[in-house]
Amino acid sequence: MTTVTLSGALPPATRKAGIGGALRSEWTKIRSVRSTMWSLLAMAGISIGLMSLIAWATMHRWARFEPREQAALLKQPLEIILVRPVFVCQLVVAVLGVMVISSEYTTGMIRSTLQAQPRRLTVLAAKIAVFAVLMLVVGELLSFAAFGVGKQIIAGHIPVSLSDFGVTRSVIGAGLYLAVLGLFSLAFGAILRHTAGAITTVLGLILIVSNLTGLLPDSWGHHIHAWMPTNAGQLILQPHQLPDDLLSPWQGLGVFAGWTVLLLAVAAVLFKKRDA
């Protein structure tokens, strides 16, 4: 029998795995997944490409609009070049936010992640931080790019400038809204741990439940509708607070952020307690 002897001892660990390594790991994972790049390209295509086409078509038909329709567009210059693109982009952000964490459960990679970094809250915090920064940077870049391109397209009939009341806040707020929505969706992905179920839940809240609450009667129905997460958050896109709005734009974004923090707290508790 041959005995194998080691020529030297393994070097001792110099430091514990911490948040820095977790952040680098999460950044590597999120940028190396194809779905991330395709989702970001889809956001750019919607916010700039599709918006430009819709804005051009609207301006091309300007003379055919009735005076009341023209007046409505003049009062809401961001409706075409910001609000509508964000409404469609949010669907892409919701899907991407869910998949940031749910895809690891689908493939079983979450077990490898937790073996490399046993501190579960560190893993979740790294995912949240990396995705939040990515969505904030991309959201702000696309918001200002969409505004700049759209402004030139509609300039012949609808003048708008960043110096107009509430416009800069709305453009910045669009990027903030998309970032918060991404974390809102990530929380559902962590809670449900099932990609299709989490995406269905988030899109159902955005497209169906939030709108159906507007049919509730009396003042209590109006309050429920106003405090729904995305209903409140989308107020940041409006340059002016409307008479029927119960919340100001910043209050609305704050309510949306509050819902998101609550869901992330639930996700953190479950992520720490449940088996991978």
Q: Is 79 exposed, middle or buried (0-12, 13-18, 19+ CB in 10 A)?
A: middle
Could you tell me if residue 12 is inside a domain?
no
The residue type found at 27 is: W
pLDDT at 242 over 90: no
Domain span at 169: 21-273
Could you tell me if residue 244 is inside a domain?
yes
| Alpha-carbon span 161 to 119, nearest angstrom | 48
Could you tell me if residue 211 is inside a domain?
yes
Residue 125: other Cβ atoms inside 10 A: 17
Structure tokens at 246: 């119960």
What pLDDT score does 276 carry? 65
pLDDT per position as a tens digit, 112-137: 888 888 888 999 999 999 999 999 99
Number of domains in the chain: 1
pLDDT at 11 over 50: no
Could you tell me if residue 213 is inside a domain?
yes
Average pLDDT over residues 45-69: 89
pLDDT per position as a tens digit, 173-228: 999 999 999 999 999 999 999 999 999 999 999 999 999 998 888 888 889 999 99
Could you tell me if residue 33 is inside a domain?
yes
Average pLDDT over residues 31-39: 85
Let me know: does 92 contact 43? Beta carbons within 8 Å: yes
Could you tell me if residue 7 is inside a domain?
no
Three-class secondary structure of residue 74 per DSSP:
helix
Name the residue with higher pLDDT: 156 or 143. Answer: 143
Confidence of residue 10 (pLDDT cuts 50, 70, 90): very low
What pLDDT score does 2 carry? 46
What pLDDT score does 115 carry? 84
* Of 161, 125, 130, nearest in space to 36 by CA: 130
Q: Is 30 exposed, middle or buried (0-12, 13-18, 19+ CB in 10 A)?
A: middle
pLDDT at 14 over 50: no
- pTM, two decimal places: 0.89
